[in-house]
Amino acid sequence: MSLSLTPDRIFDRYTQITPEYLKQQGIKLLLSDLDFTLAAKSTRRPDDELRKWIAELKENDIQFMIVSNNRSGKRVTEFCADLGVPYEGHAGKPSTRGLENGMKRANVTRDHTAMLGDKLLTDMLAANRAGVLALMVEPVGGAVTAWQKVLHALQEPFKALCRSRCRRGK
Ligand SMILES: [Mg+2]
């Protein structure tokens, strides 16, 4: 179990994560955070861009599941139902519980699983503890509140480490 906060790769947006890239990494199951990763927190319905991205994953036999800490179950339930994807709610990230449940449901091992998210202390720590590929995106809509701006600043050294590793081809 790794307690590292550092992601394996950082992308500006989720749309940059292609089926080709995931296949190269041997990924058969993509677990993903919802808020600030795939949509702004206030968004109640998935947009066409997200629907298209999910459809492309499915066409390429890559399973997809939302793993969310969100406590307002109704919005996440409706969002995922609309999108036609399964989800693990109250995941308790950085606990690995939601990720482990997702892998069990999909019948995919950690070696073939990736976790996508926007936060180091929940999404990336959970991914590294669970031993899955840790993929990070810049938060949708950027940092708005003072707390989000502080969190962004705290995340920066870990993101810089990831970027320098990627440049060295690791
Ligand atoms: Mg998030």
In this structure, of 69-73, 83-87, 104-108, the range with the lowest mean pLDDT score is 69-73
State the distance from the centre of ligand 1 to the C-alpha of 119, rounded, in angstroms. 6
CA-CA distances (angstroms) from residue 46 to 31, 53, 60? 17, 11, 21
Tell me the residue length of the chain: 170
Q: How close is the Cα of 134 to the center of ligand 1, in Å?
A: 14
pLDDT of 16-61, one tens digit each?
Answer: 999 999 999 999 999 999 999 999 887 889 999 999 999 999 999 9
Cα radius of gyration (the chain)? 15
99 Cα: distance to centroid of ligand 1 (angstroms): 15
pLDDT confidence band for 170 (50 / 70 / 90): low
Q: Is the pTM of this model over 0.75?
A: yes
Ligand 1 centroid to Cα of residue 36, in Å, is 5
Burial of residue 51 (CB within 10 Å: 0-12, 13-18, 19+) is middle
Angle, CA of 28, 29 and 33, to the nearest 5°: 150
CA 105 to ligand 1 center in whole angstroms: 22
Domains of the chain, start order: 9-167 (3.40.50.1000)
pLDDT, mean over the chain? 92
Structure tokens at 128: 């590294």
Share of the chain above pLDDT 70, in %: 97
